[in-house]
């Protein structure tokens, strides 16, 4: 079996067709024989090297870079810190080459940018899609501000009638300030965004490798949401999330983010996340659970990738040793995973491939056990809100931003020790839940988020004012030509 077949076989359910398309693009764009004899552990760095030394046009290279990033999410590739750093560095070099054709950027900061905004909202899917709901909360925070008069929203996907109805409900009267623009329908969307007058540019769940993130920084202040334990690939005047700045600085340094990126990070108390209201009340019996069981639930779209061996071994041992535990896994998984858990854990294991009323399911669970993964933040918020105490690692993943620091474990051993204590002690679970719901109330305070976002916009404007006109080397984190480096250091050149 070749390495491309191995990657395809490891694709998560629901992503097989997309993975197959990406692998075919690799075959078409790169020498197919270059994959012969390559081990899966070396696949990521090998593809990066192939792209880097190819004669492909910049746009084609960027497509393959984005494709490789997607495979990291959809397959068990283990991109790792070195792979993440190398992929991001290759992207920035490619952007830099492409951007030399651009001769325009702002040379004077107009204060009006603080009151007119462009939001790149990423993919709009449906009302069950948490980034989609968060996009409308983000837009609301800008549009409801009486000081703001314009909010242009650039999105991919489809603004369906259901989403239009949701927008009317969520935005209310402030919808009059908002105009939606389809990126898919208009290839000149960036010219429209940049040519409509002074704007602050916001990036919410936008694809990390889309070059317009960097190009926007040439013409206006930029504010970027970051999450998922990933370092940003491109420059922004302000990055934000709810994670501790020390955690972010260490993480981004480890993943090869350019010097200075972490200096632009701001920790917020609140974020544009919202509650998912249960459609119905469901009892344990209805779901096949016994009243006396302690129900531990784990939820995710990519559990086959998210659950590493340490997590699986620890959960398996905990469940086997306590017959009153039921472990519920929610999300599509490869059949071999399900068969293995059913074989070893028997009736103490339940797999639910999909549940469109996750809030009501979580309401009958006791503990949300988060795997040792990068994401999962929105589901953890939903679990806390529904009444399930969350346990997670503090050294990995974005869920750590949403639980008190005293609830965070530092490694697998302490994680399962804490989980065991929660299983054994109902009072401890109840106390944890009170503390977590108190923090959650701050995280979900949308009025506070609007105030914090306004401050971020002001900071971005000040930083933009101080840096323009900005060299391409600064935006794309490339070595500065000697004459510019000397100028920026305050030293003049002299002959030797």
Domain boundaries, the chain: 3-78, 111-274+447-475, 284-443
367-369: strand order across its sheet = 349-352, 325-330, 294-299, 367-369, 389-393, 408-409
Taking residue 368's Cβ as centre, other Cβ atoms within 10 Å add up to 27
Q: Name the residue with higher pLDDT: 484 or 12.
A: 12
Report the pLDDT value the prediction gives residue 369, as an integer from 0 to 100.
98
**103 pLDDT exceeds 90?**
no
pLDDT of residue 1: 61
Give the three-state DSSP class for 463: helix
Structure tokens at 454: 């306004």
- If you average pLDDT over residues 222-245, what whole number do you get? 94
Q: Which residues on adjacent β-strands are paired with residue 201?
A: 118, 222
The answer to whether the beta carbons of residues 175 and 148 sit under 8 Å apart is: no
pLDDT number for residue 486: 52
In sign, the C-alpha dihedral spanning 401, 407, 410, 415 is: negative
First to last CA, the chain: 60
Q: Give the pLDDT score at 105.
A: 67
pLDDT in tens, 388-405: 999 999 999 999 999 999
* Residue 150 vs residues 124, 156, 175, 178, 206: alpha-carbon distances, Å: 20, 20, 10, 6, 20
pTM of the model: 0.92
Q: Is 223 helix (H, G, I), strand (E, B) or coil?
A: strand
Residue 492 confidence (pLDDT) = 45
Rounded Cα distance between 136 and 138, Å, is 5
| Tokens (6 digits) for 310 | 């340490």
The per-residue pLDDT for range 325-356, each reduced to its tens digit, is 999 999 998 899 999 999 999 999 999 999 98
Radius of gyration of the chain from its Cα atoms, rounded to whole angstroms: 24
Phi, psi of 391 (to 5 degrees): -120, 135
Residue range 213-240: mean pLDDT, rounded: 93
Quick one: angle between helices 16-29 and 58-74, nearest 10? 140
157 strand-pairing partners = 124
Query: What φ, ψ does residue 427 adopt, rounded to 5°?
Result: -65, -40
Position 494 scores a pLDDT of: 40
Chain CA centroid to CA 348, Å: 32
- Mind listing the pLDDT tens digit for each residue in 49-94? 999 999 999 889 999 999 999 998 888 787 889 999 999 999 999 9
- Supply the pLDDT for residue 183: 95
Q: Which CATH number fits domain 284-443: 3.40.50.300, 1.10.10.10, 3.40.50.2000, 3.40.50.10140?
A: 3.40.50.2000
Q: What is the pLDDT of residues 249-278, one digit of tens each?
A: 999 999 999 989 999 999 999 999 888 888
Residue in 126, 48, 53 with CA at minimum distance from that of residue 91: 48
- Which residue has 């639930």 as its token pair? 297
> In the chain, what percentage of residues exceed pLDDT 70?
96
Per-residue pLDDT of 411-469, as tens digits, reads: 999 999 999 999 999 999 999 999 999 999 999 999 999 999 999 999 999 999 999 98
How confident is the model over 287-313, as a mean pLDDT? 93
Do 111-274+447-475 and 284-443 come out as alike in CATH topology?
yes
**Distances in whole angstroms, Cα of residue 157 to Cα of each of 180, 183, 310:** 12, 8, 37
pLDDT greater at residue 485 or residue 93? 93
Residue 383 is given by DSSP the state H
Q: 111-274+447-475, what's its fold?
A: Rossmann fold (3.40.50)
SS3 of residue 128 by DSSP: coil
């Amino acid at each position: 079996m070749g390495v491309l077949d191995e990657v395809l076989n490891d694709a998560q359910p629901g992503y097989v067709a997309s993975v197959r398309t990406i692998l075919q693009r690799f075959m078409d764009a790169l020498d197919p024989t270059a994959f012969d004899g390559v081990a899966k552990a070396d696949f990521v760095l090998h593809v990066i090297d192939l792209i880097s030394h190819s004669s492909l046009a910049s746009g084609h290279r960027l497509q393959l870079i984005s494709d490789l990033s997607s495979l990291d999410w959809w397959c068990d590739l283990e991109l790792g810190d070195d792979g993440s750093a190398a992929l991001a560095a290759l992207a920035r070099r490619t952007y830099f080459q492409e951007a030399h054709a651009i001769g325009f950027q702002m040379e004077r900061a107009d204060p009006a940018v603080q009151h007119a905004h462009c939001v790149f909202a990423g993919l709009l899917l449906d009302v069950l899609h948490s980034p989609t709901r968060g996009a409308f909360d983000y837009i609301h925070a800008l549009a409801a501000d009486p000081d703001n008069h314009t909010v242009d929203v650039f999105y991919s996907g489809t603004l369906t009638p259901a989403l239009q109805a949701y927008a009317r409900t969520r935005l209310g009267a402030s919808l009059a300030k908002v105009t939606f623009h389809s990126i898919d329908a208009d290839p000149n969307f960036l010219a429209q965004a940049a040519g409509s007058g002074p704007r602050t540019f916001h990036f919410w769940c936008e694809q990390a490798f889309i070059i317009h993130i960097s190009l926007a920084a040439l013409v206006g202040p930029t504010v970027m949401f970051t999450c998922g334990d990933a370092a940003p690939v491109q420059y922004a005047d302000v990055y934000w999330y709810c994670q501790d700045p020390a955690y972010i600085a260490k993480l981004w340094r480890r993943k090869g983010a350019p010097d200075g990126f972490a200096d632009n990070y701001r920790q917020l108390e609140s974020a544009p996340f919202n509650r998912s209201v249960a459609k119905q009340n469901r009892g344990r019996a209805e779901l096949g659970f016994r009243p006396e069981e302690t129900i531990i639930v784990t939820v995710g779209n990519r559990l086959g990738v998210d659950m590493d061996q340490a997590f699986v071994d620890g959960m398996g041992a905990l469940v086997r040793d306590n017959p009153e535990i039921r472990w519920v896994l929610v999300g599509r998984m490869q059949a071999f995973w399900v068969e293995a858990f059913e074989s070893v854990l028997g009736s103490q294991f339940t797999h639910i491939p999909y549940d469109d009323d996750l809030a009501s399911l979580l309401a009958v669970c006791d503990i949300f056990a988060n795997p040792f993964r990068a994401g999962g933040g929105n589901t953890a918020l939903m679990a806390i809100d529904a009444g399930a105490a969350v346990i997670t690692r503090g050294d990995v993943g974005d869920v750590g931003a949403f639980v008190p620091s005293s609830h965070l474990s530092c490694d697998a051993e302490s994680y399962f020790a804490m989980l065991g204590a929660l299983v054994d002690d109902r009072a401890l679970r109840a106390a944890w839940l009170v503390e977590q719901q108190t923090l959650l109330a701050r995280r979900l305070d949308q009025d506070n988020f609007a105030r914090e976002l306004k401050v971020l916009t002001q900071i971005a404007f000040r930083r933009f004012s101080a840096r323009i006109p900005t060299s391409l080397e600064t935006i794309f984190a490339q070595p500065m030509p000697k004459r510019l480096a000397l100028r920026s250091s305050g030293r003049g050149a002299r002959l030797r």
